[in-house]
Amino acid sequence: MEETLSQLSFAFLLLWGLVLVATLFRHMVPGVRDVFVPVSLVAGFLGLLLGPQVLGNLFEALGFTKLSGGLIPDRVLDVWKELPGLFITVIFASLFLGKPIPRVRTMWQQAGPQIMLGHSLAWGQYVVGIALTLFLLTPFWDAHPATGTLLEISFVGGHGTVAGMSDAFTELGFEEAVDIGLGLATVGVIAGAVLGTILVNWATRKKIINLKKEDESEIGSDKEPEPKKAQWLRTFSVHLALIGVAIVIGWLLQQLFIWAEENTWGDRIELFRYTPLFPLAMIGALIVQVSLDRFGLGETLDRKLVNRISAGSLDILITSALATLSLAAIGGFLVPFILLALAAITWNVVGFLYLAPRMIPKHWFERGAGDFGQSIGMAALGLLLIQLADPQNRSGAKQRFGYKQVLFEPVVGGGLFTAASAPLIVQVGSVWVLIGTFILTAAFIAGGLWLFRQNNGG
């Protein structure tokens, strides 16, 4: 027991040491800072470079066989490999805590165009990925049928979603999916930051957006409401406890769904057996927050504190996931990897530039930038691009983006369908899933174009 605790402590100390070094590096190198490369991304690559796959192989090639493991011990890597699956659950369990959950009608009125655009881009990634896999990658590179799901899982879901599905991919006989997915998620964040900055500059030159400062009275408020004073609910330990309650509720839902599946259609198709805990922990968080709101306690939670817990968990997740990434898995799948990345980036850019001005005629760039950022590099990048495109929040894009998540995240971007997509392809077949996702993509595009063209974008 003492040895295990010592191993855990050393692994976390080394991990936070990497984050500290990465923070200093990011602030000292302007180019890295300017394209929004997250600290955790730099720390993860630093861990990868110092480990057995890069520095270890270099030492071995130079004849220093005793250093073939690099500078990071195997016992540390063993701990890091287990962290993503744990901390992704914490992140999703904190997603809605501390935020008053508005009525569905209010969310639709405020964020309807973003909801339709976000779903269009996300479901379209399934269509692009599955079609590419079915007609090209599987016939010529013998790619696993579930490869097509990696676009939405990696680009919309991000590093955490990929890592959280590790066990499901292993059970499906697709172990290399995690390494490929983490690589795609990294490409998405970098490409989204670079392309997003280019698009903001383009929109400024074309006078689509105006970055000049205005009087404060003309600027939409992006401040969160001040929490009510209830000290017993505002402590760090209580916030952690509520996150734990959300996770427990998610686990109970998971067990209930598995039981129901086994006693109904489980002899024909199994989905919940492969569904990881994190999307259900998100449902648990919604239940906790709605319950607190019902008793008038919802606004007493400190959303900033919840965000800090979530951000710290995300740093741990991304750093540990990238530091243990298998370069061999990506190297053996390099051409399909490049094709998948190019296909996803092309779909996201074209989809954003074509659909956003037609679905969101009013402030289409500022409000659509969040959906583009999320569709190519997870929600955090979406918020960054909103900040770049609309720093004074004239369009109210931040609030609308937040409303959109309630009707988006439980389904895709790490939601229930994201978790079920890979086992669904294995058990039902790529053709049927392709047809279903194509119908949904077409429905969201047609619905968004028809509904919000009629009322000038909401």
Structure confidence by residue, pLDDT tens digits, 178-204: 999 999 998 998 888 889 889 988 998
Residue 221, pLDDT above cutoff 80: no
- pLDDT, mean of residues 129-137: 97
CB burial readout 248-274, b (16+ within 10 A) else e: ebbeebbeebbeebeeeeeeeebbbeb
Closest residue by Cα to residue 95 from 384, 375, 303, 369: 303
Does residue 216 carry a pLDDT above 70? no
Q: What is the mean pLDDT of residues 382-399?
A: 84
The whole-number pLDDT of residue 169 equals 93
- 437 contacts 127 by C-beta, under 8 angstroms: yes
More confident residue, 143 or 296: 143
Average pLDDT of the chain?
86
Query: Each residue of 403-412: pLDDT tens digit?
Result: 898 889 889 9
Residue 66 burial class via C-beta count within 10 angstroms: exposed 0-12, middle 13-18, buried 19 and up: exposed
Confidence label for 135 from pLDDT (cuts 50, 70 and 90): very high
Cβ–Cβ < 8 Å for 156, 412:
yes
pLDDT recorded at residue 31: 67
Mean per-residue pLDDT, 240-269: 88
- Tokens, residue 126: 């399934």
CA 405 to chain centre: 12
Tell me the average pLDDT across 434-448. Answer: 97
What pLDDT, on the 0 to 100 scale, is given for residue 222? 46
